[in-house]
Structure 1
Amino acid sequence: MSCTTILVGRKATYDGSTFIARNDDSPSGKYTPKKFTVVHPEEQPRKYRSVLSHVEIDLPDNPMRYTAVPNALEGEGIWAASGVNEANVAMTATETITTNERVLGADPLVEFVPSTDGRPEVPGGIGEEDLVVLTLPYIHTAREGVTRMGSLLEKYGTYESNGMAFQDKDEIWWLESIGGHHWIARRVPDDRYVIMPNQLGIDEFDMDDAFGEQKNYMCSADLREFITWNHLDLTVKDEAQDFEVGFSKSSGDSTSQPDTASSSGTHAAKHWTFNPRDAFGSHDDADHVYNTPRGWYMARYLNPHFASWDGPHADYRPDSDDIPWSLTPERKVTPEDVKYLLSSHYQGTPYDPYASYGDSSRRGAYRSIGINRNDFLALIQIRPYQPEEFRTIEWLAFASNAFNTWAPMYANVTRTPAYLSNTGKHASTDNFYWTSRMIAAMTDASYGKSLFHIERYQLAVGAKGHELIRKYDAKMMDALGDPVTTITATDSSSDRSERDDRIHALAEQANQEMADALKEAAADTLDKVLYELSNQMKNSYSRSDT
C-alpha cells in the first residue's frame, strides 16, 4: 500500500515534541474508508488470526487500551494503521517499501498458500493488516516496539516489505523489514527529520552498535551472516576495511554455511558501517517517478539552502537516489509544515498537475504526495512538557490531503466522536471521511474557483484546533491540581480512578467540541465547492427565466 512518512525528532520540532506522521493511501483504483476508534483491553484478541494470511498468534493477557484508525468496512482485516496506547507510546504501520531480487532470493517473503488438491493450506507471515494490533497494546517505550516487532518478524516472517515507526516522548525508532524474516531499525536523531516515500530509506547503518550498545541501531540476530553470505553489502572498501566471515561445513552437507561464532569474532575487530539502501533497496526507473520525487520535494521544503534542488546542475533532483534519509531542518518543524508536505502536489515547481504556468508537458510528471487515494493522515504529537494524562495529541485528516483539513484529538480517551468513528460503506455528510471525499472531488473538478474556499477552511479549522488545545490543556491542568484529584503514591485505586475519569471526560469533551466545529466547517465548505462546481456544469446557460 502506497504511503508517505515524516518523522521529526524532539529537538527539531517547534515545541520539543516528537512527531510521527504518515499518509495511508489505497492501492490504485481503490478507496478505503477509515475511522478513528478506541480499542479497550477486553476487545483485544488473545488468539489472533490474520484475515489475509491465516497466521495464528497467541497474544499476551495484559493489553493496554489504544487508539486506532482501522478500516471502516469488514473483509480484509483490521488494518489499525496508527495509534497511541495508555503508556503514551505510539506506532504507525506501515510504509510499504521496496527491495531487490538478491534480498528476496536470499530470504523469500512468507506468502499464504491456499489448500489445493487435498493439500492443507500454508499460513503466510504477518503484514500491514496485523502489525499495530500485534504490537501497540504491549509496549511501554519506542525501543520496546522495535524489539517486539523484530521478534515477531523473525518468528513468523512477513509477506511484504514494510517500514514502521515507534514513538515515545524521548525517542523515535524506524524499522524496515528485510526479506521474509530479517529487519533493521535506526533511532531518529533528536535534531533531525526523516522522509520516507515508499522506498527502503535508511542510508547508513552501524553494525557494531547494533550488536553492541544498541544506542542508535538494532537488527535481526543473524544480519551480519545474512549480509555476508549473500554478498549484499555494496560498500567499496580498501583492503584494510575488508570484512571476512568464517564458514563451517558439517559432514554430509555439501553447502557451506556461515559460522556465526567465527564471523562475530571477525566483525568485532573491525568497524562495520554500510548503506542499507544500496544493500537491500531498489533503484528502479519506477522509483524515479513514484518515490524519489516525494523525498526531493520534502527535503527541498525543509532545507531550501542545504543544497541546490532545481535546474540541470542541481545537487539533488527528483530522480536522485541519494537524497538523505534524515536532515537537520533549517528551522523548527511545526504540525502545519507536516500537513503541507503530506498534502503536496509539488506546488511551486513545474511538476504541479494544477499549475497554470510553465511547460505543460512537465505537469503531473511525478506521483504527488497528496493524491486522490489518500485514506487518512495522522500526525502523533507527544508533548513532554505536559502531564502524562493529556500528553499526546493525534492530528487526523481523511481523504485527499490536497483538499482536506485536519483536527487535533486527545489520545487518552475511552471513546471517540461519532463524526470521526461512524464511517460506513455509503457516501454520507454525517461523517468526516465521506464529507472530506466529496469536498476533495468537487474541488479538484473546480480547482480555480474552489481553492480559496479550501484555504479558508484549512486555516479556520487549524486555528480552532490550536485554540481548543490551549483551552482544554488549561482545564485538565486545573483538574490535576484540584486537591480531590491530586494523586500520591499512597492514594487508593479509587482516588486514581476518579482522577482518570475526570481527565478522560475533559479530553472527550474537547474532542467532541472539536468534532462539532469540524462538522460545521466541513458542511459549509461542501456547500461552497458544490456551488462553484455547479456553475461549471457543461449544460449551464446564462439566460435566466426570472
Structure 2
Amino acid sequence: MACTTILVGKAASYDGSTIIARNEDSPNGQFRPKRMEVVQPTDQPRTYTSVLGHLTIELPDSPLRYTSVPDAITDQGIWAAAGFNSENVAMTATETITSNERVLGADPLVSFVPAKGAEGDPGYAPGRAGGLGEEDLVTVVLPYIHSAREGVARLGSLLEEYGTYEMNGIAFSDVDEIWWLETVGGHHWIAKRVPDDAYVTMPNQLGIDSFDLADAEGEQRNHMASPDLRQWMADNHLDLTFGAVGPVGFAGKEGAAAGNLGVADVFNPREAFGSHSDSDHVYNTPRAWYMQRCLNPSAAWDGPAAKLRPESDAIPWSRTPERKLTIEDVKYVLSAHYQGTPFDPYGWQGTPDTRGAYRPIGINRNGQLAVLQIRPYVPAAFRSVQWMAFGSNPFNALVPLYGNVDELPEYLCNTSERVTSESFYWANRLIGALADARFHDNAAAVEGYQERMGALGHQMLRETDAAVAEAVADEVPAALAHANGELAATLKRETEKLLGRVLYTTSCAMRNGFSMSDNER
C-alpha cells in the first residue's frame, strides 16, 4: 500500500502531544473506499482468519474497545488502518516499505500458497497459509496492548511466530512515547523510539538509519528487535558497516569474545536492509525531501549549496524541527504536491517534464488520513483525538473526533460501494475530482473550507474539554460522542456547500460551453 507517514515527538509538538499520522493510499488504478468504526469487545473476533493471507489465529479473550478506519468493501480484508484503544494507545498500520534481495533471500516473505490438486489425487500438494499483512495488523494487535512499547512487543512476537508476506512499517504511540517498527524479511523486525524532540518522515522506504543493537539486546531504552537479529545478520553478511569482518569478530572491538559476531553494535539498517533503487528516487525519497524542506526551511534544499536533493539516499529518518509542529503542519506536509518547486503538477515553475517527475504526497488515490494525537494536559478520559480526512488531501479538510467513545458519527461511518454525497468519503472524492480539473479557480474555495473546519475543530475541542472536565466519569463518553456528532453535522453542511461551489466553477469551464444565451428557462 502506497502511503506516507510523519511522527512527531512530544517535545517537538506544539502542545506536548505525541502525534502519529499516515496517509493511506490505494495502489495505482484503485480507489478503496474507507469508513470509520468503533469496535466493541463483544464484536472483536476470538478466531481471526485473514482474507489475503488465509491465516487463522486465535486471539485473546479480553480485547479492548478501539476505533478503526476499515475498508468499506471487505473483499480484501478489514484493513483497519488506524485508531485508538480504550487505554489511549494509538496504532497506524501500515507504511509499505522496501527491502533488498539479500534480506529477502536470507528470510523469505511468507506468501500464501494454494493447494495443488485435490487431496488424495496423484501430485497433490497441500497449501500453506501466508503470514500477517496490512489487512490484519490493527485488528490483531491494537485491542490487546496498554502502551506503545507493549504494541511493539506483541507485534514482534506475532511476526516471529507467523511471519509476514510484505515489508511494512508500523507506528505505536501513547502519551509518553512513539515507537516505529519495521519488518525485515519474513520473520525479523526492528523498532526504534522516536526522539521526543524530533519528527520522523517515512515515504514507502525502510527508513531507520541508525540502530543500537546492544541496546536492543540489553536495556531496550530506545531500541527493540528480533532476539536473533545479530546472529541472523552475521550468518547472512548483512551488516555493511566498515570494520565488520565476518563471523569471527568486529574490527576495533572485542570481537567474538564480546558476542558481536561481526555485526556492529550501532549500524545503519537502511544500508543493511533497505533499498536505493531508481524507482525509490522518483517515488519515495522526494517525499521525505519535501516534508523536511517544509519543516526545516533554513537548511539548503535547493541550488548548488544543497546537500540533500529529492533523489538523495541520505535524507535522515528523524530531525529536530526549527519550531514546534502543529496539527496544521502535519496536514500540510501530508497534502503536499511540491508547492514552490519545479515539481508541482499544479505549478508554473519548471517544465511539463519536471512537473511530473516525482510522486506527490497529496495524490489522487489518498483514501484516508488519520492524525492520532494524545494530549498530556487533559484527563485520560478524553485525551485521545483522531483527526480525520478522506479523499485526496489537497482538497479535503482535517477534522477532530474524540477517540474515547462508543460510537462515531454516521457521516464518517456510512461509506459503501454506492457513490453518494451523503457519505463524507464520497463527497470528498467528488470534490477532489472536480476541483483538480480547475485547480486554481477552485483553490480559494477549498482553502476557505479547510480553514473553517480546522478552526471549528479546535473550537470544539476547547469547549468540550472545558464542559466535560468536571463531568461524572460515566457521562463522559456520551458527551464526547455528542460533541463529535455536532461537529459532523456542521462538517456535512460545509462539505456540501463546497461541493456545490466546486461543481459550479468547474461546470462553467466545460469545453462545450458557449457564451451566447437565449436567457429563457
Q: Which residue of 1 aligns with 2:88?
A: 88
Per-residue deviation at 1:243?
6.4
Per-residue deviation at 1:454?
0.3
Per-residue deviation at 1:304?
1.4
In 1, are the aligned partners of 2:384 and 2:404 still within 8 Å (CA)? yes
Partners of 1:60 and 1:468 lie apart in 2 by: 37
Equivalent position amino acid for 1:189 in 2:
P
**Once structures 1 and 2 are overlaid, which stretch shifts more, 15-24 or 72-81?**
72-81
Specify whether residues 301 and 178 from structure 1 end up closer, same or farther in structure 2 by C-alpha distance, changes over 3 A only.
Answer: same
Per-residue deviation at 1:430?
0.5
Partners of 1:517 and 1:455 lie apart in 2 by: 17
Partners of 1:215 and 1:281 lie apart in 2 by: 24
Q: Which residue of 2 aligns with 1:333?
A: 325
SS for the counterpart of 1:478 is coil
SS for the counterpart of 2:201 is strand
Partners of 2:132 and 2:222 lie apart in 1 by: 26
SS for the counterpart of 1:112 is coil
1:534 paired with 2:511, answer: no
- Where does the alignment leave 5 or more consecutive residues of structure 1 unmatched? 247-261, 480-484, 486-498
Q: Which residue of 2 aligns with 1:289?
A: 282
Q: Which residue of 2 aligns with 1:160?
A: 166
Among 425, 430, 454, the residue aligned to 2:422: 430
In 1, are the aligned partners of 2:109 and 2:185 still within 8 Å (CA)? yes
Among 221, 224, 227, the residue aligned to 2:230: 224
- CA displacement 1:471-530 (0-9 Å, x = unmatched): 100111031xxxxx3xxxxxxxxxxxxx22x10111001100110111011000000000
Partners of 2:296 and 2:258 lie apart in 1 by: 42
Q: Which residue of 2 aligns with 1:482?
A: none
Report 1:272-351 matches (<5 A).
272-305=265-298, 307-351=299-343
Q: Which residue of 1 aligns with 2:131?
A: 125
Partners of 2:462 and 2:262 lie apart in 1 by: 54
Per-residue deviation at 1:431?
1.1
SS for the counterpart of 1:449 is helix
1:209 paired with 2:212, answer: no
Report 1:5-404 matches (<5 A).
5-118=5-118, 119-237=125-243, 244-245=247-248, 265-267=258-260, 272-305=265-298, 307-404=299-396
Partners of 1:264 and 1:368 lie apart in 2 by: 49
Per-residue deviation at 1:40?
0.3
- CA displacement 1:143-200 (0-9 Å, x = unmatched): 0000000000000000000000000000000000000000000000000000000000
Per-residue deviation at 1:236?
1.2
Equivalent position amino acid for 2:303 in 1:
G
Per-residue deviation at 1:263?
5.9
SS for the counterpart of 1:363 is helix
Per-residue deviation at 1:201?
0.1
Partners of 1:20 and 1:146 lie apart in 2 by: 15
Partners of 1:223 and 1:196 lie apart in 2 by: 23
In 1, are the aligned partners of 2:207 and 2:270 still within 8 Å (CA)? yes
Per-residue deviation at 1:539?
1.0
Specify whether residues 142 and 332 from structure 1 end up closer, same or farther in structure 2 by C-alpha distance, changes over 3 A only.
Answer: same
Specify whether residues 350 and 183 from structure 1 end up closer, same or farther in structure 2 by C-alpha distance, changes over 3 A only.
Answer: same
Per-residue deviation at 1:26?
0.2
Q: Which residue of 1 aligns with 2:469?
A: 477
In 1, are the aligned partners of 2:256 and 2:262 still within 8 Å (CA)? no
Specify whether residues 423 and 273 from structure 1 end up closer, same or farther in structure 2 by C-alpha distance, changes over 3 A only.
Answer: same
In 2, are the aligned partners of 1:225 and 1:263 still within 8 Å (CA)? no
In 1, are the aligned partners of 2:300 and 2:306 still within 8 Å (CA)? yes
- CA displacement 1:64-122 (0-9 Å, x = unmatched): 00000000112111100001000000000000000000000000000000112223221
Partners of 1:518 and 1:263 lie apart in 2 by: 62
Q: Normalising by the residue count of structure 2, what TM-score does the alignment of the two structures yield? A: 0.96
Specify whether residues 520 and 270 from structure 1 end up closer, same or farther in structure 2 by C-alpha distance, changes over 3 A only.
Answer: closer
In 1, are the aligned partners of 2:390 and 2:428 still within 8 Å (CA)? yes
Q: Which residue of 2 aligns with 1:257?
A: none
Equivalent position amino acid for 2:417 in 1:
K
Specify whether residues 389 and 543 from structure 1 end up closer, same or farther in structure 2 by C-alpha distance, changes over 3 A only.
Answer: same
Partners of 1:67 and 1:448 lie apart in 2 by: 36
Among 438, 444, 448, the residue aligned to 2:440: 448
In 1, are the aligned partners of 2:245 and 2:262 still within 8 Å (CA)? no
In 1, are the aligned partners of 2:234 and 2:262 still within 8 Å (CA)? no
Partners of 1:265 and 1:112 lie apart in 2 by: 40
